[in-house]
Amino acid sequence: MQHALFLDRDGTINYDPGYLKDTNLVKLYPYVGEGIKRLKEKFNFKVIVVSNQAGIAYGILTNDEVIAVNEKINLLLSEYDTSIDAFYYCPYHPEYNSEEESQCRKPSPYMIVKASEEHNIDLNRSYMIGDRSIDVLCALNAGVKSILLQHGNDNTEINSLHNLSKKPNFVAANFKEACDFIVKDYSEESN
């Protein structure tokens, strides 16, 4: 079985201007390209994005715009000779869609579980990086190790988790710190 790195998209691997649909605004965070390449090449991780895209339900975005942004992310990653292996996104929101349709939304583990089935992934040896408490909860619900990416001094997301008596396996200030934690933890687990 394969191990994987699951990634949130906006605010985790790329800057989030809010309901991103203009491919000209897609900009990767520092070390994202190098980090993904390192984990894929040296440690054989499959890299999969799992993203809530409720902007589609709101009528702000279209499926085609989400796909175009995903393609632009991979185009930018190609400059580092790497790529995202698969993109999963949930276009639904319970205010606009049925409960059944909205079951794919994080913090539900739906997208991770679906990806694990389609890509033969061992969730016990996998990780999730995200910038929101729902990403950490999604990881916990799916049984993968979680890393909260905390940009700046905003403690909103970590406080939200503490209020639920939940915590990530690691809190990283940037993508490089998150990847370094994964390398160290995965290497220790493999020995």
User: Nearest to residue 79, comparing CAs of 39, 129, 28?
Assistant: 28
Q: What Rg, from alpha-carbon coordinates, does the chain have? A: 16
Task: Establish whether 85 is a catalytic residue.
Answer: no
Out of 8, 85, 131, 135, pick the active-site residue.
8
- What is the C-alpha separation between 5 and 115, in angstroms, rounded? 11
Closest CA to 186 of 3, 54, 26, 60: 3
Q: Alpha helix (H) ranges present in 127-174?
A: 133-142, 156-163
Q: Is 22 a catalytic residue?
A: no
Which residue in the list 10, 85, 131, 135 is annotated as catalytic? 10
Residue type, 116: S
* Active centre residues (catalytic): 8, 10
